[in-house]
Every structure is written in C-alpha cells, then in structure tokens.
Structure 1
Amino acid sequence: MARVSGAPKLVCGRWTKWIVVLVWIVLFMGLGSLAGKLTDAQQNDTAAWLPSNAQATKVSELQKQFQATDEFPAVILYERAAGTTDADLAKVKDDAAKLAGVDGVSGPVQGPIASDDRQALQIVVPIEMGPVGQLKVVERVDAIRAIVQNANNGLNSYVTGPMGFAADNTEAFEGIDTTLLMATVAVVIILLLVIYRSPILWLLPVISAGLTLVIAQAVIYLLAEHAGLVVNSQSVAILTVLVFGVGTDYALLLISRYREELRVHEDRHEAMGIALRRSGPTLLASAATVAVGMLCLLLADMNSTKGLGPVAAVGVVIALAAMVTLFPALLVIFGRWIFWPSRPKVGSTRPSDRGGWAKLGERIAKRPRAVWIGTALVLGVMTVGLTQLNANGLAFEDSFLDQPPSVTGQKLINQHFAGGSGQPLIVIGKASAASGIQDALKGTDGIAAVGEPLVKGDLVRIEGTLRDEPGSAAADTAIDRARDAVAKVSGADANIGGFAAITHDTNAANSRDTKVVIPLVLLAVLLILMLVLRSVLAPVVLIATVVLSFAAALGFSAFVFKSVFGFNASDSGFPLYIFVFLVAVGIDYNIFLVTRIREEAVRHGTRKGALIGLSATGGVITSAGLVLAATFAVLTTLPLVLIVQMGFAIALGILLDTFVVRSVLATALTLDIGPKIWWPSSLTTDPEPVAPAVDRDRDPERV
C-alpha cells in the first residue's frame, strides 16, 4: 500500500483539510477589501508606460514646470465638404469664446485655423487634467461637445486630439473589468460542464480560481503601493484571464490524477495524497516555467511591459498555491459524489486505456518520423504569414475596432491639415538657447510649423508641428532629425516629447525589448526543463517545437488579421507579448506530457512510455488547452485592436500546442528518437524497463 506523508498528507488529512480551507477563508477575508483598490493603483500615464530614460518621458516630467499637471489638448475639427462659409467662421469664433469658460481649460483657445482647401476649420483647447486624471475626461469632453455640436446648416464637428482620444478610450472601457471577469467565468463554467458533465464539480475550480484572483489582486495592490510595482489597465485585464485559465488548468490536471487514484484506493484521503505527490512536481515545474518566463519581462525597457511580468508571476504563483492546497482539500471534503453522475469506482477501468488518444498513439507509432516531419512542414507553411506581419506600431486612429468620433476627426485633420496638427512635438530645453532651438526646428525637414518660445524660469518650451501623421515612418524620421538638430545646439540640453514622440519612443523601446527578452525567456525555460527532465536533449527538442508553434501561430494570425479582420498593422509590442505567453504558458502542455512519459519510461521503456503518457494525459491536456484558449479568447471581446490581436493569437497558439505540438509532434519525436531523448541521464542506456510492465489498474503503488 502506498504511503503518503509530508505536505500532501497535511493538505488532505482527515482533520487538516479543514484547517487548509480555514486559512484560505481568513486570507480572503483579510485581503479581499484590498483587491477592490487595485483599480485606483493603476498608472496609465506616459511615465508609467515609457522607459524612464526616454526623451518623451523626460518632457512629460518637465512639463509640470509649465503647468500644474498633465495637459491634454482637445482639437475641435469643423468640416463642410462644399467649403466653409463666413457664417461657419462666425460660429467657430463664438464656440471658441464659449469654450474658454469650460472647467479645466488651462490657457487661451487657439484658432480658428482654416485649412488650405477651405473645407475645414479647427480650434485647439488646452485642458488641464488636474489630480483626478481621467476621472473627468468624459465629463469635460461632453461639456465641449455640448457647445460645438450645435447645428449650423450641415457643418460637422468632431472633438479629437489627445483629449478626444482619452474620452473615447475611457468610454469604451467603462465597466470592462466586470464584463471581462463575467465573460471569463462563464466560459470556464460552460467548458467544465461539457468536460465533466457534472452539475456540481465545476463549482470547486471556479470558487478556487475566483478566490485566487481576489488574493492576487490584493497582493499586487500592496506591491504597487509599497514596492513601486507599475500596474496598468492592460496588465490587470491579462491577470484576470491568466489566473482563471492557468488555475483551471492546474485543477484539471489534479482532478485527472485524483480520479485515477479513486479507481485504485477506497480511501479518498489516501487517493488525493498520492495524486498530489505524483502531480505536485509537474504542477510546480509548470508554474515555475510560467513565472520565471514572465519575470524575464523585468529586463524590458517599457515600464508597461516590465510591470506585466511581476503581475503575471504573482497571479500564477498564487494560483498554484490555491490549486495544490485549497482545491484538493475541497475535493476531499466533498467526497466521490462531487463527480456525479460519473463517480469513479474502485477497480473500474480508465477510459484513457481504450480511448481515442490511445488509438492516435498507435497510429503515430507506426511511422513516427514521417508524422513529425509532415507536422513540422504544415506548421512551417503557417509561418509564411509572418511576411504579412506589420508590427511597427499602431496609430491611435487604428487602435479601435470601431470608429469613435475622435478617430473620425483625426482622419479629417490628416486630410485637411498637416499630419501632426493637434499633436505637436514639445521641445523643452534651456531658456538661454531658445533661439537656437527654434532655428534648429525650423530647419528640420518634416517640421511644418514652429511655435513661439514659452519661458518659465531657466527652461523654454517650444512646439513643432509635424508635416506627416504621427506614427508614420516619415513622422518618426522627422522626430529623429529634430532630435539630432536640437542636440547640436550649444547649451540647449533639450528633449523632444509630446504625443507623437511618445508613439515613436514606444515603438523603439518595444523593438529593443523584443530583441533582449525573447532570448532570455528561451534560456530560462530551457534551464528549468533541464532540471525537471534531468536531460539536455529532451528540453532542446521541446523548446524547438514550441518556438515552431509560436511562429506558426503568429504567422497564421498575421494572415487572418490582414485578410479577414482588415487590420493593417499591429502594436510594436505584439510579437513579444505573444512569444512570452505562448512559450511560457504553452510549454505547460509539453511538461504535462513529457514528465508523464518519463515517469512511465522508467517502468516500461521510452517508446511504450510515450504511448502510455499520451493516452493517460490526452484527455486532461486537451481539456486544459480548451479552457486556457477560451479564456484568452475572451480578450477578443474588448474594443481595442491590440487586445483583440493578443487574444486571438494566444488562443490559436495554445490550441496548436494542445492538439498538434503536444499530441502529435512531441509524441512522434519521442517515439522516433527513443531512449536517446533522455541524454545524458541513465534512461539513455537502459533500453529495457527497469521493472516489469504491469497493469496500472491493478497496481495500487503506481500512478
């Protein structure tokens, strides 16, 4: 009879299981109130996203010497295709006078400015956000719209520019945290009902994941408040999906091993103890891989990317803790009836022994080399779509799925005015070099206009209007030229920022992070796999399969984005996000499979162990993959192009890992390479099992 001791016995002991549940309830009650404060701890301003050494970040900080807080200009665009009239001009002047009295206006209203084609007029209203930040964005933009949208014989008006963008963005995401959470929970519940066909069992993973999310949010809030962790709306949204997806995956794996043991052991406490002892190392390796992979993001330059790493790692670690303590304790408390109507009985046969995954393994075993080569070729064809990937950054007007008023207005500005109108470059340098800075800007190719110097103390602030649309290659080139020009001005010590420069610096930082972080993630995951599998060759093979899967998912996604969704570009950080999630999270399924194969190889040899491992883990890994893919797919319900692209590509990559890489490619490679895959461990030189093969269902000592 198997003996259970240590942590597994503590978690599922006859009395200690109640203590485990009580501890989690106390944690929930003690930290629950802090979770709700996470929204207030979010930092969505420029400095919280960009690297601290970026010129745009420095300008954002220096701006505070010219104004109390961040200033968001609202650009009002008036347009009449037949040409504006004198009456239109009079209305715009009247609007400008009224707008000066709107709450938050921090300076004189600029304009009206007429376009060269006489079809449009624009005015610029500087709005000081104040300490409440985006809380008053919508309120102030609504006040502006109430003034400018009065009918004037067909004259159309749009509130755009940074203030208009901020308002439309805020409105689009209003209540999105609750919506995302509800959608994620609904998806998990539906899939668990389908997988287990039990009207009750789904409650335990959902309760455990929900409690995990609350505690994770509380811990992250404490880190944000007291350890300087940068948290933003993007990382909070991903945390919700990640905790439910990964937590449910761990629950599914534990349920699978627990059910196996219930078919062998009458005592459910003993069954759970053995299940925990056998599956615990695999779950720990999986969580460590994801957490370490995410923590590699700490080496990114982008503050938003850097902050996502610890947020995701905290979520994964707490999810693991809950799923190896709270969740098994709950399963044991509820007993076998929780599986009703399919309660596992002692002595019953595992469905996996005669199921579809066992048959698939038999087919692969006939010609493993042909199978893995053919599968790799198919994935290789999917990578061709990478030629259509345009990850050079998204212009703001391309960031929404729909077209809010601010986007429509910006597109009209691009038609009638200089591309950078309303989003000027802001140059801040030494006041003593004001004339030199101004001349340098005027002499820069790509700068359409230069404003008058504004001096405050020993600093000067000068605005420059780009000729081309911010985010375009031409605009980026002009920004680089302008920075080179002002850098040559003696004693200027100038930095160039503003919204156009923010876009430029964001793309540059993302490009750097992609080149630096991806190799580090690969190295970290490789080292963990070597420790877990006690092999060199097997981890290299697994890493190669996951990288191929990533390239295939990214390539096919790029094809779909352009040909189906009509997305012509992707955020510059998109490839890095997809890589980290697919390699760190997607490797899970290979860990689940290969650790089981290695376990079986000790008794049955590598080739037979591969077939047993596939049949034993096929159902649970497929279920886990479907749950995780579906939770990430929930991100496609959000109205932002970047988040939709992330949700689609990650979900696709997880499905490829689940149904193709793990079930076909990894299995075929293991069968073809044979015992050598464990090089340099002793399994390489042991072609025969170290113990006679046994019937798993009649051997209570084996899992």
Structure 2
Amino acid sequence: MPSGRRGKWLTLIVWLIVVVAAVPLAGQLSELEKDGLTVELPRGAESTEVAGLADRFDEGRISLGIVVYVRDSGLTAQDRAKVASDIEEFATLAAGAVEPARPSEDGKAVTVLVPLDKQDSTALADNAEKVRDRATGDRPDGLKAELAGPAGNSLDAADARESTGRALTLITVVVVAALLLITYRSAILWLLPLLVVGVSFLTTQAVSALLAKGFGLTVGGGNEIVVTALLFGVGTDYAMLLLARYREELHINEDRHHAMRTALRRAVPAIAASAATVCIGLLCLTRADVGFNHTLGPGGAVAIVCGLAAMTTLFPAVLVLLGRWVFWPRVPRAGVAVKNANRLLWDRIGGRISRRPRLVWTGSALVLTALALGSLGLRTGLDDEHLVIGRPGSIAGQELLAAHYPAGQSRPAEVISRAANAPAVAEALKHIDGVAQVEPATISTDGELAATKAVLKAHADSAAAARTVDRIRTAVHDIPDADARVGGPTAMAQEKAEAQAHDRRVVIPLVLVVVFVILIALLRAVVAPVLLMATVVLSYFAALGISWQLFQHVLGFPAVDTQVMLIGFLFLVALGVDYNIFLIHRIREDVGHHGHRSGVLSGLTSTGGVITGAGAVLAATFAALTSAPQVAFIEIGIVVAIGVLIDTFLVRSVLVPALALDVGPAFWWPGRPVGPDTPAQAIGTAPGDAVAVAVSSGRRTR
C-alpha cells in the first residue's frame, strides 16, 4: 500500500491520525512511571519487599533529606546561626517536624533531618532543590553544606536523568544527521529518516502509555535513555537499508511506484526478520529478576515494533510522494548504470577475500580472540563513589557524613517485622557485631508491622557492611513468629548483584537459543547459523576486552556495572544478528541466481556500503550514551558502540564472507538457496553496476 498511487495517500492519512492521537497519550507517560527504586530492585527479593512495605508507615511516605554542615576547624557561632536560620526555612517545606540539629562527637559537623513528602514526585524534586539551595547558599566562608540521604539521591538522579535525556536526544540527532549527510550528500534526504524516527518515538511513548494503563506494563524512567538510543539507531538502520534497495530499483525502473514496490518486496523480509529477532531477544529479558532488565524487555520491543511499522509504511510513502528529486544532486535515473567508489571498493575487498578465504577468516578470528583476552581480570559491581561522573551533592554529602558520623548513619539497615516482635528484633540487633546503634522502632499505620533501623559501623557499600547484613539476616530470621525481612541500601546491593548473576545465567543462554532457532528458520540451514552465532559471540568478547582496558586505563572506572554484561550481550547479539540477516539474506538471494562463490561476492558488494553506513550510525547513537553522567550508561554505550564497529567493519565485512567462501555450498546445509544457478561470468565485469546485476539476475526493467 505505501508504494501505490492511492495507497501512499491513505498511508499518510493513517499516520497523521496516529500522530494526532499519540500526542496527548505520550504526554501522560511520565505520570505513569513507577518509583525508580522499586522498579529497579530484584523481583521477589527480601529488600524489595521491605521497600514495597514502606507505604504502610508514616515515614514511608516521606523522603528524608539529610543536610550536613561541616567546618574542618570546628563549627563557629556564625555557622550555628546559619543552621538555625535554615531550619526555620526547612520547616516551611517539610512534611513533618524538623528536629534540632544533631552535632557530631568531634564538634566539626551537624546534621539536620528534613522529611519531605514523596507522594508527588514533582513536588518532592522542587522541595528538595529548595532545601539544597537554602543550605548551600549564603554560607559563611569555610563552611561546607550538602544535601544527602534519599531526598538528595533522588534529586541528583532526577537532574542526571533530565540532563541525560536532553543531551542524548540532541547529540543523537546531530550525529545521525551528520552521518546521513555524509552518506547521501543530499540537501533533503538526510532529514526524512530523522523525521520518521521522531514519529516512531512519539508512537512508542503513546503505545507504552496505553499498555501501562490497560495491561499493567511497568514504565521505568531509566529505560527511556537506552530505548531512545536503540530506536534512533535501529530505525535509521532500517531506513538506510530500504533507501539502498529503493535507489537500486530506481536505476532499473522508470516508475518510482514500481521501484518502491519491488524494493519493499525485497528489503522488508530482511528488515522484518531482523526486527523480530531484536524483539524476541529483548522479550527474553522478561525472564530476568532485576527490575531494570525486566522492564527494558517489553519497553524495547514496543520501540522496535513502532520503528519497524513507521519505516516500512510511512517512510516509503513519503519517499514515493516526494519523488526522485529527494536524492538531489545525485538523482538516480532508470537505465543509467551506477558506478561509484564505494561499490568498487567492496568489489576489491571481496576479490582479495576470495583469493585466500581460509587465511582471512582464521586471521580475523585470531585478532578477535586476542582482543577478547583483554577482558581477563574484569571486575563487576560499582561502589557508590563511582556510580556517576564527578561528585554530585548527595555523594559529597555522604562523604562528609562518613567522615564525622558512623559510616552507615545515612543509609541504615532496616528490619520490618510483626509489631509484637519489635522488642525482640531490637534486642537481637544490639548484640550484632558491626551495628553501631539501633533506632527506636516505628509502627505501621495499621499497627501490624514495625520497622527497626540499625546504623552500621561500616560504609553501606563496603564488604564489611555486607557481612554485617548477613549477620542481621541470620539473627532476625531466627526470631520465632517475627516474619522479619531485612532491607536497606546494603541488602539491596547484595540482592541486586545476586539477581544480576541469575539473569546472566538464565537470559544469555535463552537469547542464544532463541536467536539460533530464528536463524535456522530464516536461512533454512544449520551450518550457517552455527558459524554466524560463533562470530557474534566472539565479537562480543572482543568488544568487552577493548572496553575493559578503556575503563581501567583511560576512564579510571574500577569495575563494570553489573547491568553492562547482560545488556551489552543482548544488544550485541541481537544487533549483530541484524547485520547477519541483512548480509546473508542478500547473499542467499544472489547465490540462488549466480552460484555460491559469485553470489557471496555479489552480496558483499551490494550490501557492504549500506551495512557499513548503518553500523556507523548505530555505533554513533550508542556512543551518545557517553554524554550521560551515570557510569552504567557510559559503559553500556562504549561496549555496544565498540561491538557494533567490530561487527560492522571486521566480522560482517570480512570474517563472515571468508567463512562462507571457505565452507562453500555446505554453508547452506541441509538446504540450498532457491533459484537457477548461472555461471559466475554472468555477473559481468563490474559488480558495482546495478543494471548489469539486474539483467543477469533475470529482472525485467520498465
């Protein structure tokens, strides 16, 4: 329908209706986002249950801001006057009483606890910002002041997410636009894929809002950053692949409608198959325990489906409507042979690979293996100080607290039990090694539960704190009928690490099996999928090896975030198979017409340029994640960008064609590409000549 004389108009009308309906729905998405903490926690974990029970307590409805004031030489009378004045201002913002300042034993610091209402996330952010601005403004010289605690953490996270979203979108658009301009050298053509991706993004938000309302889809704000990079990269890739086939057909067909119809028929199966592979790979994340992973799967799949729909209907309709002039100044004309440096380059590359394919693929595999060795000694798990770039206020405040108060003062362990057993829980906590103090229990609003907090002697993300939490669990679980559950930051970090290990054990094999089965179904072969999966996995470990060396020796990251291993693997396998499908689909088509060897070389020549360009765009969109202050996003962006570049310029362009040539027709075992085999000479002396290829393939021109 998008390529028809009337169908293109109908397609545009349908999409106009979709956009009009999507605008108000997309605006509601932020209101449907779940609390970031509970979304990201492991499903079913003990610490997650504790976090979920917070609303049953009065204090669970507040976010505590801990304002810390420090003077290294000791607080002065002027400092104390500043604190007293601030407390009066804090009282107008707080959701409860603001207690008097708590001095440290060394006399160099005081803390003020400011309870803020967290029922309205917007109001919480506004009030937390006002508390921070008041504390850090008009200070006597030499007095340090920072906002820490849950309210400070939430404010810094919200600031980081907002700045990341704006920067990522802007950088992505600029980078993709630049690459499209370089690729097509057209005054208008570069803009069309970006506009259609924008429509896809709007549609994704609207569909996500509908699914959240009607079917309980969990919406997490942190996922949007990764999904944005994925949608821009994959959507632009699909546009470039369709454009390449459409331009090829315009050199054969006088009628642009017929050219687009043929381009869609030949390109969409590969695009749809690759989109299905990415979607199914993402949906494997629904087997994950970590909330971020679990919610990313459906959210990413929705984005891919919306991108596929827009790029295979709206984009071709717009191209056909605008006509050939969108390619200006290099307008494709029917019957005019295409000879450009790009296609001739890939013709020469194919020729060199074909001379010694076994040497080429073994050499390539050895290079990838050597790069993969760089991942030896890789460490996972970032501490609090390395979660973000720089020192946001909440981290600086935490450091001040740790220097003048028990290290776990602002991030205590929390035990929720039956109210009747609260005294027994408190007594047990007092005798546990590593507990600095036990705060009085608070009772839930219904009187059934009690929350008892234990301040740890060690820093909350230290190994010593983790051992203390283990001792707490053992002690309170042994109290009869207490039904005690342990939560708090240390317990959360422990269980998140355990859940990430579970997700890697479960999801990675599942993704490999699912993608392998999809490749068998698409290619109707076994040998080719085995070899292709091997190249994808080897490419992933090579990317991980390079990235780990960069993290350690260039960026100064002490470890890899626990989410990077799984998310990086999923994206590189799914997207790597994407390029496999684009390449092998074209090779399989050409092998059916020209025989195995000539078909492999012809397919490489035809797709080498567009796959390289698409890979560069995809790598650039993920590289844009390095603009984020969160180290996890920076690491995901680097791993995926490096992996895509390796996959594009070495694996897909050199290693896979060499393997296909060396294995020979057995590459397609037990099936074989359909189509009449013709002598290799039928391709002609100029594989870059689209008309010659078309004629030798038996395709009619109009």
> What is the TM-score when the length of structure 1 is the normalising length?
0.93
Give, in angstroms, the shift of residue 357 of structure 1.
1.0
Q: 1:569 aligns to what?
A: 559
Q: Is the 8 A contact 2:416 2:484 kept in 1?
A: yes
* 1:504 is aligned to 2:486: no
Q: Is the 8 A contact 1:68 1:130 kept in 2?
A: no
Q: Which stretch shifts more, 156-165 or 592-601? A: 156-165
Q: Which stretch shifts more, 566-575 or 486-495? A: 566-575
What is the aligned-residue RMSD (CA, Å)?
2.5
Q: 1:696 aligns to what?
A: 693
Give the fraction of aligned pairs with identical amino acids, expressed as a percent. Answer: 41
Q: Give secondary structure in 2 for the equivalent of 1:427.
A: strand
Q: 1:587 aligns to what?
A: 577
* 1:657 is aligned to 2:647: yes
* 1:362 is aligned to 2:359: no
Q: 2:686 aligns to what?
A: none
Give, in angstroms, the shift of residue 363 of structure 1.
1.0
CA distance in structure 1 between the aligned counterparts of 2:146 and 2:432, rounded to whole angstroms:
31
Q: Which amino acid aligns with 2:361?
A: W
Give, in angstroms, the shift of residue 476 of structure 1.
2.2
Q: What pairs up with 1:88-127 in 2 under 5 angstroms?
A: 90-91=80-81, 94=84, 98=88, 101-107=91-97, 109=99, 111-115=101-105, 118=106, 120-127=108-115
* 1:266 is aligned to 2:263: no
Write out per-residue CA displacement over residues 290-319 of structure 1, whole angstroms, 9 at most, x where no aligned residue.
Answer: 000011111111222111111111111111
* 1:33 is aligned to 2:30: no
Q: What pairs up with 1:395-544 in 2 under 5 angstroms?
A: 395-456=383-444, 457-544=447-534
Q: Which amino acid aligns with 1:65?
A: R
Q: Is the 8 A contact 2:357 2:658 kept in 1?
A: yes
Q: Is the 8 A contact 2:439 2:452 kept in 1?
A: yes
Give, in angstroms, the shift of residue 347 of structure 1.
2.5
Give, in angstroms, the shift of residue 167 of structure 1.
1.8
Give, in angstroms, the shift of residue 489 of structure 1.
1.0
**One of 601, 605, 620 as aligned partner of 1:615:** 605
Q: 1:211 aligns to what?
A: 199
* 1:324 is aligned to 2:312: yes
Q: 1:389 aligns to what?
A: 378
CA distance in structure 2 between the aligned counterparts of 1:447 and 1:48, rounded to whole angstroms:
29
Q: 2:229 aligns to what?
A: 241
Q: Which amino acid aligns with 1:33?
A: P
Q: Is the 8 A contact 2:275 2:308 kept in 1?
A: yes
Q: Is the 8 A contact 1:250 1:283 kept in 2?
A: yes
* 1:342 is aligned to 2:333: no
Number of residue-to-residue matches in the alignment: 689
* 1:185 is aligned to 2:176: no
CA distance in structure 1 between the aligned counterparts of 2:486 and 2:697, rounded to whole angstroms:
71
**One of 11, 24, 30 as aligned partner of 2:15:** 24
Q: 1:378 aligns to what?
A: 367
**One of 41, 47, 50 as aligned partner of 1:50:** 41
Q: Give secondary structure in 1 for the equivalent of 2:2.
A: helix
Cα distance, 1:582–1:157 mapped onto 2, change above 3 Å = same
CA distance in structure 1 between the aligned counterparts of 2:166 and 2:544, rounded to whole angstroms:
29
Q: Which stretch shifts more, 52-61 or 533-542? A: 52-61
Give, in angstroms, the shift of residue 254 of structure 1.
0.8
CA distance in structure 2 between the aligned counterparts of 1:388 and 1:104, rounded to whole angstroms:
48
Q: Which stretch shifts more, 302-311 or 173-182? A: 173-182
Give, in angstroms, the shift of residue 183 of structure 1.
2.5
Q: 1:174 aligns to what?
A: 162
> What is the TM-score when the length of structure 2 is the normalising length?
0.93
CA distance in structure 2 between the aligned counterparts of 1:350 and 1:590, rounded to whole angstroms:
25
Q: Is the 8 A contact 1:420 1:500 kept in 2?
A: no
Give, in angstroms, the shift of residue 523 of structure 1.
1.0
Q: Which stretch shifts more, 173-182 or 314-323? A: 173-182
Q: 2:121 aligns to what?
A: 133
* 1:606 is aligned to 2:592: no
Q: Which amino acid aligns with 2:670?
A: P
CA distance in structure 2 between the aligned counterparts of 1:99 and 1:464, rounded to whole angstroms:
30
Q: 1:7 aligns to what?
A: none
Write out per-residue CA displacement over residues 440-463 of structure 1, whole angstroms, 9 at most, x where no aligned residue.
Answer: 323333322222223341322111
Unmatched tracts of structure 1, length 5 or more: 1-9
**One of 262, 271, 279 as aligned partner of 1:283:** 271
Unmatched tracts of structure 2, length 5 or more: 684-691
Q: Give secondary structure in 2 for the equivalent of 1:351.
A: coil
Give, in angstroms, the shift of residue 122 of structure 1.
3.6
Q: Which amino acid aligns with 2:558?
A: N
Q: Is the 8 A contact 2:249 2:260 kept in 1?
A: yes
Give, in angstroms, the shift of residue 68 of structure 1.
6.3
Q: 1:4 aligns to what?
A: none
Write out per-residue CA displacement over residues 169-223 of structure 1, whole angstroms, 9 at most, x where no aligned residue.
Answer: 2233335434432322222211111100000111221221111111111001111
Q: Which stretch shifts more, 490-499 or 73-82? A: 73-82
Q: Give secondary structure in 1 for the equivalent of 2:416.
A: strand
CA distance in structure 2 between the aligned counterparts of 1:172 and 1:207, rounded to whole angstroms:
27
Write out per-residue CA displacement over residues 143-166 of structure 1, whole angstroms, 9 at most, x where no aligned residue.
Answer: 355257553452322221222222
Q: Which stretch shifts more, 519-528 or 343-352? A: 343-352
Q: Is the 8 A contact 1:514 1:573 kept in 2?
A: no
CA distance in structure 2 between the aligned counterparts of 1:226 and 1:30, rounded to whole angstroms:
16
Q: Is the 8 A contact 2:594 2:676 kept in 1?
A: no
Q: Which stretch shifts more, 526-535 or 149-158? A: 149-158
Q: Which amino acid aligns with 2:265?
A: R
Q: 2:56 aligns to what?
A: 65
CA distance in structure 2 between the aligned counterparts of 1:611 and 1:700, rounded to whole angstroms:
14
* 1:671 is aligned to 2:651: no
Cα distance, 1:134–1:414 mapped onto 2, change above 3 Å = farther
* 1:13 is aligned to 2:23: no
Q: 1:5 aligns to what?
A: none
Q: 2:688 aligns to what?
A: none
Give, in angstroms, the shift of residue 88 of structure 1.
7.6
CA distance in structure 1 between the aligned counterparts of 2:520 and 2:218, rounded to whole angstroms:
32
Q: Is the 8 A contact 1:138 1:171 kept in 2?
A: no
CA distance in structure 2 between the aligned counterparts of 1:342 and 1:647, rounded to whole angstroms:
34
CA distance in structure 1 between the aligned counterparts of 2:9 and 2:633, rounded to whole angstroms:
41
CA distance in structure 2 between the aligned counterparts of 1:586 and 1:33, rounded to whole angstroms:
36
